[in-house]
């Protein structure tokens, strides 16, 4: 969440940073507008309460003086009762305003970093770099490749669970597992991440800490009768490993990688990518998470993005990196790079990783803090990125490795994880 003191101290600058996301973020009726009104309301109540308390103290002393002299203090006692009653009323109003303020605060997005490019839609995202030579010949879509090879069964997925579920068989199932193991080994052994295994469910507090609640409740799967949600990404449990903790500055940065299944209802994506496994309700992902010093947030973003890129380079899959423009940056992020892999069947780049710096936004929400020697605790900075989305990586391997005889060449780096298999062929 945003810093309350910064809200008061740098209101104009913060509003300008938020306004870059779009007028709806700071316009009339927005959470930001309610926040400002509620903050003003709280200050008014506080000022009135403090004035009444000062009056109560004055009258209390006067009563003491009159009683000490044997004088009648009934008028002052009556006034004291009225003041005390009003103080109690103001305390209740203040608590109500504070609760409303806290609720509005959770719905205000992270102000954008000044280096985020301006833009009104994803069309204004800025390409930073490319790697590899895109394949430009005619290549079937991954759903046709997988069906012809007998390794992707969309009908079975629909029968078992419904639309946007897929059953992987044989080489595809092993390829999914191989990609997961390869990514974890690369990040843990070469990039220095500590691997963690975390629950695939999270409670409301944990979901709120990273910004999924309350804003994106409709995209989550909630467990009926429980205050538990299926996680949409390992970012949620891994970041919250440090929920309500104070770390010593010497412990930073904390860097973790984790494999988890992920679950998203995709409520806001009706009609998009309905074929294949680009956009599924259940998918696998390896996630990278940093808990770091605020001064390192942006330099860590470059490092984290490079670690995600290293996966695609090892798999020899062409990709590009784009900086998301102001209108396309996610709710909790202050700056985001998307990595987009080349899909020859679509003749375009498609997102396979989103790498974000959140600054201290999640640190405040989740109570993740650190302390420098002799200093007060302050919110830590957090970052995360897919390293990578495994299903989309499998799609890219199938399409970029497809051969005219219908087989698929497996990237050399994955062959040890595939039992030495060099290509996938139809049975």
In the sheet that holds 201-203, the strands lie side by side as 201-203, 228-230, 221-222
Question: Who contacts 131 (Cβ-Cβ below 8 Å, separation ≥6)?
Answer: 309, 312, 313, 318, 319, 320
To the query of whether residue 351 is one of the catalytic residues in this protein, the response is: yes
Question: Mean pLDDT score of the chain, rounded to an integer?
Answer: 92
Unique residue bearing structure tokens 């060099």: 422
> Is residue 157 domain-resident?
yes
pLDDT at 351 over 80: yes
What is the rounded distance in angstroms from the CA atom of residue 139 to the CA atom of residue 119?
33
Label residue 367 exposed, middle or buried (CB < 10 Å: 0-12, 13-18, 19+): middle
Q: Count Cβ atoms within 10 A of the Cβ of residue 68 and give its class: 0-12 exposed, 13-18 middle, 19 or more buried.
A: exposed
Give yes or no for residue 204 having a pLDDT over 90: yes
- The pLDDT of 63-70, averaged and rounded, is 71
Q: Read off the pLDDT band of 83 (50, 70, 90).
A: confident
- Domain boundary among the residues 52, 81, 106 is at 106
326 confidence band (pLDDT: 50, 70, 90): very high
**From CA 311, how far away is CA 178, in angstroms rounded?**
13
Q: pLDDT tens digits for 310-319?
A: 999 999 999 9
Supply the pLDDT for residue 322. 98
Query: Is residue 115 assigned to a domain?
Result: no
Question: pLDDT tens digits, residue range 205-224?
Answer: 999 999 999 999 999 999 99
Where residue 150 falls (left for φ over 0; alpha for ψ -120 to 50; beta otherwise) is: left
**Residues in Cβ contact with 315 at an 8 Å cutoff, skipping those fewer than 6 apart:** 393, 396, 397, 411, 413, 414
**pLDDT tier at 404 (50, 70, 90 boundaries)?**
very high
Q: Which of 20, 255, 264, 364 is catalytic?
A: 264
Residue 113, in any domain of the structure: no
Which one from 34, 333, 392, 399 is the annotated catalytic residue?
392
In this prediction, residue 67 carries a pLDDT of: 66
41, 130, 204, 279: which is the annotated catalytic residue? Answer: 279
Q: Is residue 392 assigned to a domain?
A: yes
> What's the gap between Cα 35 and its chain centre?
22
291: number of Cβ within 10 Å = 27
Q: According to the annotation, is 386 in a ligand binding site?
A: yes
Domain region containing 49: 4-106
**49, 354, 356, 357: which is the annotated catalytic residue?**
354
pLDDT for 389: 97
pLDDT at 80 over 80: no
d(Cα 255, Cα 279) in Å, to the nearest integer? Answer: 28
Is position 115 annotated in a ligand binding site?
no
164 catalytic, yes or no? Answer: no
279 flagged as catalytic: yes
Residues 215 and 302 both lie in one domain: yes
Confidence band, pLDDT 50/70/90 cuts, at residue 14: confident
266 is in an annotated binding site: yes
pLDDT over threshold 90, residue 376: yes
Which one of 37, 351, 415, 423 is the catalytic residue? 351
Do 8 and 149 lie in one domain? The reply is no
Beta bridge partners of 153: 167
Identify whether 117 is part of a domain.
Answer: no
Give the whole-angstrom CA distance, residue 86 versus residue 292: 46
Q: Which of 39-43, 109-113, 186-190 has the lowest mean pLDDT?
A: 39-43
- The confidence score (pLDDT) of residue 6 equals 80
State whether 203 and 237 are in the same domain: yes
Residue 55 marked as a ligand binder: no
Higher pLDDT, 357 or 2: 357
Task: Please tell me the predicted confidence (pLDDT) of residue 90.
Answer: 84
Q: Does the annotation list 265 as a binding residue?
A: yes
pLDDT at 86: 80
351 assigned binding-site residue: yes
Residue 390 is labelled as binding a ligand: no
Q: pLDDT over 90 for what percent of the chain?
A: 72
Check whether residue 201 and residue 345 sit in a common domain: yes
251 annotated as belonging to a binding site for a ligand = no
Tell how strand 201-203 and strand 228-230 pair up.
Answer: antiparallel
Q: Residue 30: which CATH number?
A: 1.10.287.40
Query: In b/e form, how buried is each residue of 205-227, taking b as 16+ CB within 10 angstroms?
Result: ebbbbbbbbebbeeebbeeeeee
Pairing state between β 126-131 and 319-323: antiparallel
Determine if residue 384 is labeled as part of a ligand binding site. Answer: yes
SS3 362: helix
Q: Is residue 197 part of a domain?
A: yes
User: Active-site residue 354, yes or no?
Assistant: yes
> For residue 209, what are the CA distances in angstroms to 13, 170, 198, 203, 362?
25, 39, 16, 10, 6
Tell me if 354 is assigned to a ligand binding site: yes
The answer as to whether 396 is a domain residue is yes
Structural domains in the chain (count)? 2
pLDDT at 29 > cutoff 90: no
Higher-confidence residue: 16 or 190?
190
SS3 320: strand
Contact assessment for residue 284 and residue 261, using Cβ atoms and an 8 Å cutoff: yes
Q: What is the DSSP string of 43-63?
A: HHHHHHHHHHHHHHHHHHHHH
Spatial CB neighbours of 373, under 8 Å, sequence gap ≥ 6: 249
pLDDT 10s digits, 249-290: 999 999 999 999 999 997 666 667 778 999 999 999 999 999
Is the pLDDT at 78 greater than 90? The verdict is: no
Confirm or deny that 234 is annotated as ligand binding: yes
Q: In this structure, is residue 256 part of a structural domain?
A: yes
pLDDT greater than 90 at residue 162 = yes
84 and 166 share a domain? no
Q: Do 223 and 269 sit in the same domain of this protein?
A: yes
264 is catalytic: yes
| Claim to verify: residue 95 and residue 162 sit in the same structural domain | no
- Could you give the 3-state DSSP secondary structure of residue 42? helix
User: Residue 8: pLDDT band by 50, 70, 90 thresholds?
Assistant: confident
Out of 104-113, 135-144, 162-171, 303-312, least confident range: 104-113
User: Residue 44 has what pLDDT?
Assistant: 86
């Amino acid at each position: 969440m945003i810093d309350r003191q910064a809200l008061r101290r740098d209101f104009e600058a913060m509003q300008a940073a938020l306004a870059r996301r779009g007028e709806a973020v700071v316009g009339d009726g927005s959470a930001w507008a309610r926040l400002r009104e509620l903050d003003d309301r709280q200050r008014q109540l506080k000022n009135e309460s403090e004035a009444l308390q000062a009056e109560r103290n004055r009258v209390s002393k006067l009563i003491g003086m009159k009683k000490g002299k044997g004088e009648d203090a009934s008028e002052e006692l009556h006034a004291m009762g009225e003041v005390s009653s009003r103080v109690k009323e103001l305390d209740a109003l203040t608590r109500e305003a504070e609760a409303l303020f806290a609720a509005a605060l959770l719905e205000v997005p992270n102000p954008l970093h000044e280096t985020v490019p301006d833009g009104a839609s994803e069309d204004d995202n800025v390409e930073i770099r490319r790697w590899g030579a895109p394949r430009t010949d005619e290549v079937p879509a991954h759903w046709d490749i997988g069906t012809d090879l007998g390794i992707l069964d969309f009908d079975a997925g629909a029968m078992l669970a419904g639309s946007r579920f897929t059953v992987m068989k044989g080489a595809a199932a092993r390829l999914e597992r191989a990609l997961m193991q390869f990514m974890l080994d690369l990040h843990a052994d070469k990039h220095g991440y500590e691997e963690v295994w975390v629950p695939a469910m999270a409670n409301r507090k944990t979901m709120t800490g990273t910004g999924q609640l309350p804003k994106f409740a409709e995209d989550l799967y909630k467990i009926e009768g429980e205050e538990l949600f299926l996680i949409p990404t390992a970012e949620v449990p891994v970041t919250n490993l440090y929920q309500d903790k104070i770390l010593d500055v010497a412990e930073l940065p904390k860097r973790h990688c984790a494999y988890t299944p992920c679950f998203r209802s995709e409520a806001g994506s009706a009609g998009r990518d309905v074929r294949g496994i680009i956009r599924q309700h259940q998918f696998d992902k390896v996630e990278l998470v940093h808990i770091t010093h605020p001064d390192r947030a942006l330099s860590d973003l470059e490092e984290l993005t490079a670690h995600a890129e290293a996966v695609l380079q090892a798999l020899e899959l062409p990709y590009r990196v784009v900086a998301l423009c102001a209108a396309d940056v996610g709710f909790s992020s202050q700056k985001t790079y998307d990595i987009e892999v080349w899909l020859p069947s679509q003749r375009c780049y498609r997102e396979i990783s989103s790498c974000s710096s959140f600054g201290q936004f999640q640190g405040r929400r989740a109570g993740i803090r650190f302390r420098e020697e002799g200093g007060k605790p302050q919110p830590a900075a957090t970052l995360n990125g897919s390293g990578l989305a495994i299903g989309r990586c499998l799609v890219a391997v199938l399409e970029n490795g497809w051969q005219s005889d219908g087989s698929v060449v497996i990237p050399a780096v994955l062959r040890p994880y595939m039992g030495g298999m060099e290509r996938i062929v139809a049975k």
